[in-house]
Structure 1
């Protein structure tokens, strides 16, 4: 038994004796030293093959730190405090295959920083402060497979000559141009060049990467679809990220060479719609990301949630893929909408001869197979009656929309979605069954959302001359109040949002200009709210409301948005005063009798109140007198006032303090009685009263893009 014990536990005892302090050595060849809080490299056995010493506070390195570690194949020194890599410091580690120096403070890579690492396969230098790399720093790394340099301060690169490299990540640096001479990596499979400041993508560079499977060019300054992505060499591309560029409309012919895509990211491209024919180009697609786009959730987009479910497409960041318009769908997650939520017209039943058939109304217009406008929204509505009458001397009455599937002229009336037409527009359906709006005079736009800058003046006859005061057009980006009640203001933010399509949110600042307390109240509103209601306001008061893009610093000391946004003023309505009707004398004896009885009843009630108050005060004085005989006189207790108030309330006096008129609520509210006695020094009016309802009239949303 003793022999078995020694044979089993002796290796562990030897291992524990060689294990450095504050390290874990569960396996004799793999040592973990995490959060060791030491500025030096620990001394480990020469047989060590994997050494993890991340987050140790190591600031310097020397060759003696790795002397004798000829078997070491992995060295992880990430999250330390290294500011430089001494020359030839890793020269003895001839078998090292994986080196991780990420998340340090390294500023420069010299010529001999990686000298001797002839078998190195993975080099991670990301999240440092590297500003320059010597032209010969990577010479000798012939078998390198992965190189990560993202998140540094590089403005240029040495010529990267890696014949076996498979992954290269240069993202989040400042390298505005890349050419084939910069990257001599013919076998690279994953190239990540996001957020470099690129204005174009070199065609020859992409053509030289014949084994490319993954390409990330997001968050650059590309203003059109790169011509470099229209080459036959990209048929093997399976993952493409185009997010956060200014590409404009995406055309179907641009993606003809990318039929093998399995993952596609179209986030932040200001897309208002998507067509099903666009995605027919990608039969192998399994993952799609389209977050942070202002989608118009109308009938032409009704196919999208159905397509996701039928094709088993995984939608990335679904909580950030929401509707922007119309108001009935604003803020809703696109993937959770049903077909009926898009306002599509119902199917119609058509009688043709002796045959009865049911034909669905087309839900979307047919588009050319060559061009697909992913930013397109339904066609503009027909001109209004005023426009037709002003241009045609003999206008014809407008014809009712006819379903293209109807051959006999009979059609079923469609039901328009609620709140789709703005500024008094009338909902209608065009001949294709798509929603449109008939806009009144002075408005324009697909949904009558725009107000004309210079409205037409009414025509006058030669015999009648009228002076019309000029109408000053409002600012295109101004906010306005659409509806005002005694306690709320409905704000119209359509034009403010349209002129700033890339804002993360809206900062609303409002203050009461009618009272002495003009301290501002600031709210953060998502950019998906074209209308917003301020609630809990005071009646008969003038409020100043300003809007500015969320994230911009307000330089004015009074928190006004005059320098960064637009303002408007609105006055809340006053509450109607409930005045008593005038008393009219009558000569009937019954009326005088009733008045006499009411007067007698009021006199009795008054006497009862006085008597109750006197009895209550007398009893309390007697009780206080008895206490003073035993304990001596005492200071008046503030609770006595509360006791008297309770006695009055329970004494049945039947009178309540008269309510102050609501018109006085604009002024500073009076402090409670017990604070008035102390001069009100400790009383402060809160910015927002607790009893006021919420200012948000819609569901609370917190896009992850504010």
Structure 2
């Protein structure tokens, strides 16, 4: 009997609890604003619902509110009387042009707010008063917005700001936002960065300056950002041909410079970026890279390099990269020229396939000697270990050297591809031809040997 009584009481309690939960759920759903979706106690989704005002009956338990893609035109303090528990608020893609004084004073716990893609006109200094816990603020793509100095500094916990698409960012002084870690300033029509606007940002680790009009790398400004690790400067017009980007040690680990029309890179451009781990140069106009450009980065195997979309000329000037890309994390580098290696991956080519057409270098073309002397004629063409050098002489008919030439003394070629003639005589030919050949092509040049008859006062003297 006692067991049955206990069981009966337990059943009644279970039924009661079920009813309580049901009624609570029903009540929560009942208070969900019209046109909105409340899938849980803390998330209210009113996005793209055609509303023109902030709903007033949002459940008090809600923490995440999405009001994006509507027709809300203004914000005032009365709109948020019961919003003290809100942590995330999305008001992007509305028609907000004005924000009343004290609008955000109730937001004690708000950490994220998105006001992007509206028509906000002005942000007075006290607009964001009360947002003491706000960490992320997105004001991007409010093109007519003006920011009064100090308007952002009023939020003591701010770690991330986006002002992309807001020309007002060009002149705003971000200095003294000591908690700031991420700053997005894309599409702001920035030509130059004023160092004074970026001082005392001691915690900034990411800066995005993509899609602006910057031509000179902002060395002084970046040099002040001692903890900056990620710098994006895609789609500007940055020149990397002038020398070092930075004059002092940098903490940058990730640098992107995609689509900057970069045609050449100075050999010292990256020196002092000793922490660099990722470098993206996608879709530029690079045909070659200097061999010493990574000398300032101490650890081999630490670079993730992306060169996709560059018209690389895979000749002898890129031979050094075949081994380098095997030691580092490099995306597939595809050759654009010369024709023999076009569309091939650089890592797949052998050293002798990465060849240059030989070219003339400063050197001697006319030699003077006395009979009986030894003469060494240096080929004035650029050669390397993959170049085949041949000599010939023209005494009415070109004859390859060395060969069965019916002349004395003998000819030989030394390890430097120079032609050595022992004990010259007047019977030797005057014209000699040096030809250098690689897989990319060949070039030849003529040298002249003038031989004088030996005499007591000239014997043993070579006049060059």
Question: Structure 2 length normalisation: TM-score?
Answer: 0.68
CA distance in 2, matches of 1:196, 1:404: 46
Structure 1 counterpart SS, 2:38: strand
Once the two structures are TM-superposed, the CA of residue 44 in structure 1 deviates from its matched residue by: 0.3
- Give the match for residue 151 of structure 1: 165
Once the two structures are TM-superposed, the CA of residue 146 in structure 1 deviates from its matched residue by: 0.7
- Give the match for residue 291 of structure 1: 308
Structure 1 counterpart SS, 2:16: helix
Indicate whether 1:240 and 2:245 are aligned. Answer: no
1:171-221 CA distances to partner (integer Å, 9 max, x unpaired)?
211232322321232221112223332343444422321111112233334
Q: 1:73 to 1:200 in 2, by over 3 A?
A: same
Indicate whether 1:205 and 2:221 are aligned. Answer: yes
In the alignment, is the contact (CA less than 8 A) between 1:154 and 1:175 conserved in 2?
Answer: no
1:586-638 CA distances to partner (integer Å, 9 max, x unpaired)?
xxxxxxxxxxxxxxxxxxxxxxxxxxxxxxxxxxxxxxxxxxxxxxxxxxxxx
Structure 1 counterpart SS, 2:27: helix
Q: Which has the higher contact order (CA 8 A, sep 6+)?
A: 2
Structure 2 counterpart SS, 1:27: coil
CA distance in 2, matches of 1:272, 1:53: 49
Q: 1:208 to 1:226 in 2, by over 3 A?
A: farther
In the alignment, is the contact (CA less than 8 A) between 2:264 and 2:288 conserved in 1?
Answer: no
- Give the match for residue 420 of structure 2: none
CA distance in 2, matches of 1:34, 1:333: 49
Which of residues 54, 58, 72 is equivalent to 1:58? Answer: 72
Once the two structures are TM-superposed, the CA of residue 429 in structure 1 deviates from its matched residue by: 8.4
Structure 1 counterpart SS, 2:79: helix
In the alignment, is the contact (CA less than 8 A) between 2:183 and 2:206 conserved in 1?
Answer: yes
Q: 1:109 to 1:284 in 2, by over 3 A?
A: farther
Q: 1:86 to 1:401 in 2, by over 3 A?
A: closer
In the alignment, is the contact (CA less than 8 A) between 1:295 and 1:323 conserved in 2?
Answer: yes
In the alignment, is the contact (CA less than 8 A) between 2:314 and 2:341 conserved in 1?
Answer: yes
Structure 1 counterpart SS, 2:238: coil
Which of residues 91, 98, 104 is equivalent to 1:84? Answer: 98
- Give the match for residue 231 of structure 1: 247
Structure 1 counterpart SS, 2:128: coil
Count the aligned residue pairs: 372
CA distance in 2, matches of 1:259, 1:172: 29
In the alignment, is the contact (CA less than 8 A) between 2:202 and 2:225 conserved in 1?
Answer: yes
In the alignment, is the contact (CA less than 8 A) between 1:103 and 1:127 conserved in 2?
Answer: yes
CA distance in 2, matches of 1:223, 1:204: 16
1:253-306 CA distances to partner (integer Å, 9 max, x unpaired)?
332211211110223442112355544644353422223321113355466466
Structure 2 counterpart SS, 1:154: helix
CA distance in 1, matches of 2:253, 2:53: 45
CA distance in 2, matches of 1:328, 1:152: 48
CA distance in 2, matches of 1:133, 1:339: 55
Q: 1:430 to 1:79 in 2, by over 3 A?
A: farther
Indicate whether 1:132 and 2:146 are aligned. Answer: yes
In the alignment, is the contact (CA less than 8 A) between 1:23 and 1:31 conserved in 2?
Answer: yes
1:107-143 CA distances to partner (integer Å, 9 max, x unpaired)?
4323333222222211111123244211232241122
CA distance in 1, matches of 2:67, 2:181: 27
Q: 1:253 to 1:286 in 2, by over 3 A?
A: closer
Indicate whether 1:326 and 2:338 are aligned. Answer: yes
CA distance in 2, matches of 1:63, 1:242: 43
CA distance in 2, matches of 1:401, 1:63: 77
In the alignment, is the contact (CA less than 8 A) between 2:241 and 2:269 conserved in 1?
Answer: yes
- Give the match for residue 458 of structure 2: none
- Give the match for residue 182 of structure 1: 197
1:72-119 CA distances to partner (integer Å, 9 max, x unpaired)?
121111222323333332222132221111122334323333222222
Once the two structures are TM-superposed, the CA of residue 66 in structure 1 deviates from its matched residue by: 0.8
In structure 1, stretches of 5+ residues that fail to align are 346-362, 365-377, 389-395, 412-427, 440-706
In the alignment, is the contact (CA less than 8 A) between 2:91 and 2:116 conserved in 1?
Answer: yes
Q: 1:107 to 1:142 in 2, by over 3 A?
A: same
1:68-79 alignment runs, 5 A limit: 68-79=82-93
1:621-660 alignment runs, 5 A limit: none
1:30-45 alignment runs, 5 A limit: 30-42=43-55, 43-45=57-59
Further displaced range: 51-60 or 281-290 = 281-290
1:456-535 alignment runs, 5 A limit: none
Q: 1:305 to 1:17 in 2, by over 3 A?
A: farther
In structure 2, stretches of 5+ residues that fail to align are 1-10, 366-376, 390-411, 416-433, 445-464
1:470-507 CA distances to partner (integer Å, 9 max, x unpaired)?
xxxxxxxxxxxxxxxxxxxxxxxxxxxxxxxxxxxxxx
- Give the match for residue 452 of structure 2: none
In the alignment, is the contact (CA less than 8 A) between 1:401 and 1:429 conserved in 2?
Answer: no
Indicate whether 1:435 and 2:413 are aligned. Answer: no
Q: 1:67 to 1:261 in 2, by over 3 A?
A: same
Q: 1:298 to 1:328 in 2, by over 3 A?
A: same
CA distance in 2, matches of 1:86, 1:401: 74
CA distance in 2, matches of 1:429, 1:141: 73
Indicate whether 1:108 and 2:122 are aligned. Answer: yes
Which of residues 99, 109, 113 is equivalent to 1:99? Answer: 113
CA distance in 2, matches of 1:73, 1:187: 23
CA distance in 1, matches of 2:382, 2:152: 70
